[in-house]
Amino acid sequence: PVGLHTMSELSVRDVQQLLDQAEAFSKGDKWKPKTQSFVANLFFEASTRTRFSFEIAERKLGLEILQFDGDHSSIKKGESLYDTARTLESIGADALVIRHSQDAFFNELKNISIPIINAGDGCGNHPTQSLLDLLTIKQEFGLFQGLAVTIVGDLHHSRVARSNADILTRLGAIVTIAGPREWMGDFHQSYRYISIDEAARHADIVMLLRVQHERHSQRDSFSKEMYHQSYGLTREREALMPRSSIIMHPAPVNRDVEIASELVECARSRIYKQSANGVAVRMAVLKKALEA
Ligand code: CP
């Protein structure tokens, strides 16, 4: 089945085809499956934009949505993710969209023969977020080759960073990293570390990440003010950015932590454009999964 688990399973050509299809959808292209098709959305972790942009994408494609409520499902009786997915497959679901806190949850679902679309796995991957980020960059710059992209912040916990750093590099962008050094995880091995001030002065794209308090164990020792001053995009740093440079953030945003609240909707912010692009990208991913 043609699901989507990680960006690494997509070739550069696959990515370009998905972005082309997403752009076509955003310009009004239409597609519907030939027969009645059911998609189940299984969100075991909180979500606003991924969940609802999948739902809008599904409605635009004329799909029948099976809403899954974990609190009122047999998960509550101890049923496993595999048994849940196998049951939905057996009763007629044509594809599953899943967000789960377990890294690489999809490895447990190899015997499921309908497409599984990863809507975010723990600290692992978030491929549809990555695709919507790429679409946003493509719309802005028209290409990826040679673009300077700095990913800033909580990289170690970020499924967005993991998905984006690799595909941006494969597409020819120059990826650097910034933020607290102890939060860089294994990114240090492959990407050059720079300061947030250098990122502000030189990057074409300052890609901020949410500080994921829920995945940090020493939450109480974290100072929002100190983080903002040392690693956040302050008004002063934004003023250093070149005219054509943009700010991205997958959201939700911790205002006045990763980014000054007044910059969230500033002229160079593409944060809401990213959210908007989620619908067209998810339509393209669903179409590819269902027409295979
Ligand atoms: N960016 C993102 O995945 O947001 P949600 O958690 O709201 O889906």
State the pTM of this model.
0.96
144-190 pLDDT tens trace: 999 999 999 999 989 889 889 999 999 999 999 999 999 999 999 99
- pLDDT at residue 19, as a whole number: 98
- pLDDT at residue 218, as a whole number: 60
Q: How far is the CA of 252 from the centre of ligand 1 (A)?
A: 6
Task: Tell me the pLDDT band of 209, cut-offs 50, 70 and 90.
Answer: very high
3-state secondary structure of 49: helix
Q: How far is the CA of 249 from the centre of ligand 1 (A)?
A: 10
273 is in an annotated binding site: no
Q: Which residue range is the domain that position 160 belongs to?
A: 127-275
| Separation between Cα atoms, residue 3 and residue 125, nearest integer Å | 14
- pLDDT at residue 220, as a whole number: 55
43 strand-pairing partners: 99
In a domain, 2, yes or no: no
Query: Does residue 252's CB lie within 6 angstroms of at least one atom of ligand 1?
Result: yes
In a domain, 21, yes or no: yes
172 and 61, same domain (yes or no) = no
Out of 129, 207, 271, mutate this one to test ligand 1's pocket (max ligand atoms within 8 Å of CB): namely 129
| Number of domains observed in the structure of the chain | 2
59-110 pLDDT tens trace: 999 999 998 988 888 998 999 999 999 999 999 999 999 999 999 999 999 9
Q: How far is the CA of 214 from the centre of ligand 1 (A)?
A: 14
Q: In CATH, what number is assigned to the domain containing residue 36?
A: 3.40.50.1370
Residue 7 structure tokens = 């960006």
Asked if 218 contacts 227 with a C-beta cutoff of 8 angstroms, the reply is no
| Separation between Cα atoms, residue 91 and residue 214, nearest integer Å | 35
The ipTM, to two decimals, is 0.99
Query: Does residue 129's CB lie within 6 angstroms of at least one atom of ligand 1?
Result: yes
Closest residue to atom 6 of ligand 1, CA basis: 47
252 is in an annotated binding site: yes
Q: How far is the CA of 53 from the centre of ligand 1 (A)?
A: 10
